[in-house]
Amino acid sequence: MIPEVDFYSYLRDLIEQIPEGKMSTSKQLAIALGDQIAASAVSSALQREEFHEARGKVNAEEAAGLSYFSDFRSDKPLRRLAELQRDLAKRVVSEDAYPESGRVAGVDVAYRGDEAFAACVVMDRALNVLEERTAVVEIRFPYVPGYLAFREAPAVLSAAKLASGFDLLIVNGHGVAHPRGFGLASCVGLELDVPTIGLARSPLIGDVGERRGCWAPLIHEDKVVGAEVEAHGSRAYVSVGHKISLEKSVKIAKRLTAKGRFPEPLRRAHMEAARMRKRV
């Protein structure tokens, strides 16, 4: 469903189109990739060893007296991925299909270079650890706001599919609280066909409305797309991933948060992913 995309290969093909004697900018390359929001990711990518010889062809921004090239031939891969997100968002279910007595898992990813270290921790209702599964995956897609699923989903899915089973998965990323209504949590939920909750440290879209007890709605274009919740002095942002309502998502996130800002299965997965990165 979600294709694995080699961002760096697309970028290299574009840079090779820059004629001798001309330059381009990170912004123009991002536009050629399909979304100028990727300009920062392009700038960071140029620091990679594979782009050592190409750095002289790209400036961060235009400067007077230089000839700049922007007439790239490109099928705009980021635009195609954004269109895919919009199409898949129509398949997300925001109704409850989760048995509260079930097994709850959390999944998170830590990075070292191009290696993604994913951990999935399954717990019971009493927060006893039932299972821990891990996976290491090579990633060729940097962080680009709104496109996290194409960076992180391969690793998340690799770890989650190793678990013997769970009834709900909490994902470190947004669900429908996303510019195109289809963040990482929705992607993973749709792929696995299980209820998922998205939980993130900061919002991608929306404004926080008036508090409703233990949470406040996250509102985007006059629609409630998520919730801001507080726990132990920290804030987190909850949204529907798939097959669950926002009300149930908030209730579960609050009930399972024993330390810090994240529900315990996700907190434990975060810790295990970080440990893997250090010891592997």
| Residue-level pLDDT, tens digit, the chain, 280 residues | 778 899 999 999 999 999 988 889 999 999 999 999 999 999 999 999 999 888 888 986 776 666 789 999 999 999 999 999 999 999 999 999 877 668 999 999 999 999 999 999 999 988 999 999 999 999 999 999 999 999 999 999 999 999 999 999 999 999 999 999 999 999 999 999 999 999 999 999 999 998 877 789 999 999 999 999 987 778 899 999 999 999 999 999 999 988 878 999 999 999 999 999 987 5
Instruction: State residue 255 phi and psi, 5-degree precision.
Output: -65, -35
SS3 for 173?
A: strand
- Helix, strand, coil shares, percent, the chain, to 5: 35, 25, 40
Q: What is the pLDDT of residue 258?
A: 83
Q: What is the pLDDT of residue 21?
A: 84
Instruction: State residue 134 phi and psi, 5-degree precision.
Output: -135, 160
Dihedral sign (CA 221, 226, 231, 236)? negative
DSSP state of 212: B
Query: Strands, DSSP E only, in the chain?
Result: 24-25, 58-59, 104-112, 115-123, 129-138, 168-172, 196-200, 207-208, 215-220, 223-231, 234-242
Give me the count of residues in the chain.
280
Q: Scanning the structure block, which residue is given the tokens 């392009």?
A: 42
Instruction: State residue 50 phi and psi, 5-degree precision.
Output: -65, -15
Q: What is the pLDDT of residue 230?
A: 85
Q: What is the pLDDT of residue 72?
A: 96
Residues 6+ apart with CB under 8 A from 210: 216, 217
- Distance between first and last Cα of the chain: 30
pTM: 0.93
Tokens of 99: 């048995």
Protein fold of 104-279: archaeoglobus fulgidus dsm 4304 fold (3.30.2170)
Instruction: State residue 276 phi and psi, 5-degree precision.
Output: -60, -45
Q: What is the pLDDT of residue 248?
A: 94
Domain boundaries, the chain: 7-75, 104-279
Q: Tally Cβ neighbours within 10 Å of residue 32.
A: 26
Q: What is the pLDDT of residue 274?
A: 95
CATH code for residues 7-75: 1.10.10.10
Please state, in angstroms and rounded to a whole number, the distance separating the CA atoms of residues 16 and 130.
51
Q: What is the pLDDT of residue 246?
A: 96
Q: What is the pLDDT of residue 1?
A: 72
208 beta partners: 218
Q: Tally Cβ neighbours within 10 Å of residue 277.
A: 17
Nearest of 114, 171, 137, 140 to residue 12 by alpha carbon: 140
Q: What is the pLDDT of residue 119?
A: 98
